[in-house]
Structure 1
């Protein structure tokens, strides 16, 4: 089955989408840019994200993507970027362990509240039936 024909979000050229999010030309350019960033970080292991963006012209988003994928660790450099919630340095994902745990606790608390509300509503409906039966 053939892929859908789409416009490349980067250059606007038509391409057959087989799971890629851009045309082959832009995909090749992206791979070259990624290689440039990885090489820069390998040669400058203490570089910060801002310095890398200025030196390579790549977006901060691309650099964070490469960090999440572990691309810099493959060349022997451990880089961090800020947690999206609190700003703490992290190596992977979007949130630090503390924020993940706090969000999980909050989610469990909310879920428990929903369950309790449903049980209370169910119990109230059950009591209402018994009241009607008593009147008969």
Structure 2
């Protein structure tokens, strides 16, 4: 999407002129207010032991929004040991990225299998078609 195009807010659906975020100015203001609430909450040392669900409950900010702040690296969780968020694949709690190690490994295996399968299909097509290649030009027999 290019600058100054009309689009619908990803949060409320309102039509607005796109600038740099996919949310309208009103929702962006709400996001910034939520961020400030989270920062104030974490400034209190006792709250630094909270889980994401406890933080959401105490601040009124959704788990999804807190997760987004962490992924955007707006909330740094190095000093907050219990603050983690769910893996998008299986729901296991993680502290960075989008997928846990297990889901990442599963995705890699699936991709490798797909690549192998596609390579095998192309090889089979070449065998059936007959011919040979010289400088990436195919000649039929």
- TM bin (shorter chain): 0.7 to 0.9
Q: Which of 31, 47, 59 pairs up with 1:56?
A: 59
Give the secondary structure class of the aligned counterpart of 1:15. strand
TM (norm. structure 2) is 0.72
Of structures 1 and 2, the larger Rg is shown by 1
Q: Which structure: greater helix fraction?
A: 1
Which consecutive unaligned segments of at least 5 residues does structure 1 have? Answer: 128-132
Structure-2 residue corresponding to 1:26: 27
RMSD: 2.7
Residue of structure 2 in register with 1:10 after alignment: 12
Which residue matches 2:136? none
Matched residue of 1:45: which SS? helix
Q: Is the 8 A contact 1:33 1:58 kept in 2?
A: yes
**Pair 1:71 & 2:98 matched:** no
Q: Hey, what's the Cα distance between the residues in 2 that align with 1:104 and 1:2? A: 35
Match of 2:138 in 1: none
Task: Provide structure 2 residue ranges, at least 5 long, that are not aligned to the other structure.
Answer: 132-140
> Would the aligned equivalents of 1:82 and 1:90 in 2 still touch at CA under 8 Å?
yes
How many residue pairs were aligned?
Answer: 127
| 1:22 partner SS | coil
